[in-house]
Amino acid sequence: MTRVDSMTFALPHADLLRARATAVDFDAHLHGTCSVVVVTSGSAQIWSHRWSRSVHAGDVFFFNPFEVHSGRTTGGPARYDVLYPSEAFLDTCAGPAGPGEVRSIRTGVVTRGRATRALADAVSDPAAGHAPVEDALRQVLRECRFTVEASTATPSSIVRTAARLIEENGPRSTRTADLAREIGVNPSHLARAFRRTVGVPPQTYARQVRVARARELICAGVELDDVAQLAHFADQPHLTREFKKVFGVPPGALSRGVGR
């Protein structure tokens, strides 16, 4: 079960959402953007479909958009900052992806070193401002390996296809059978392939895609009542339940953070 002691958000501008948290466990979840996690104290075991290992204070680790991951701390709660850079921000570090291409980060973890210490110092200093955080983040990302591939050639293409269908379906059914019919495959084959590729069943993924959409809407300043409707949740309590499964806190925490 997801157990987060605290989490606060800040959105200095649209290209870089920031979060600061203290947590013990995170159930399997995903985000709609790249995630950069800076461990400032404690240790944790992290699992994703792409990599799994222990991380410690001073390490920085990375997830691609829609990459399912989970974690559990060792020896008590861990403190960390999460940076969610936009695709435009990543363009400044790794170069832009062309039309019909998908950029992926291949690096799992950058262990403690000069670049990671500079980023940890920047995110931990309340007087540092946002420019030092962005500069330090760029330096760490420049130590990472990225690949750019045609979207149809990537292992995550089934994920992106399903995400598009889920978003297009909106309030209509997103049952596995309905998705399989639209994609043109057997439902059992879709379910097996989806779990093998993504790490969670299509329905779990569908709920979390809606949370990713809700996060985008909240960051754009949309009121929570409207967010629930636009992201196709039954009501605001439904949005709150699903949002807490991903972030460990209710959506109001993000709304307050980006409203400052």
pLDDT of residue 170: 58
Range name among 52-61, 86-95, 125-134, 237-246 with the lowest pLDDT average: 125-134
Tell me the mean pLDDT in the region 138-167.
75
Give pLDDT, residue 9: 95
pLDDT of residue 202: 81
Alpha carbons 166 and 175: distance in angstroms, whole number: 10
Q: Is the pLDDT of residue 153 over 90?
A: no
**HSE, side-chain direction, 13 A CA sphere, residue 122:** 22
Confidence (pLDDT) at 159: 62
Could you tell me if 7 and 215 are in contact, meaning their C-beta atoms sit under 8 angstroms apart? no
Q: Please tell me the pTM assigned to this model.
A: 0.87
Q: Above pLDDT 90, what percent of the chain?
A: 53
- β-bridge pairing 60-63 and 69-85: unpaired
In degrees, to the nearest 5, what angle opens at C-alpha 68 toward C-alphas 141 and 238? 120
As a dihedral over the C-alpha atoms of residue 117, residue 8, residue 72, residue 57, rounded to 10 degrees, the angle is 10
- How many angstroms separate the CA atoms of 82 and 119, rounded? 11
Q: Which superfamily is assigned to 155-258 in CATH?
A: Homeodomain-like (1.10.10.60)
Q: Is the pLDDT of residue 172 over 60?
A: no
pLDDT of residue 158: 63
- The CATH number of domain 3-151 is 3.30.70.600: no
Per-residue pLDDT reduced to its tens digit, 46-102: 999 899 999 999 999 999 988 889 999 988 899 999 999 999 999 998 888 888 788
Domain boundaries, the chain: 3-151, 155-258
Q: Do domains 3-151 and 155-258 have the same CATH topology?
A: no
More confident residue, 198 or 168: 198
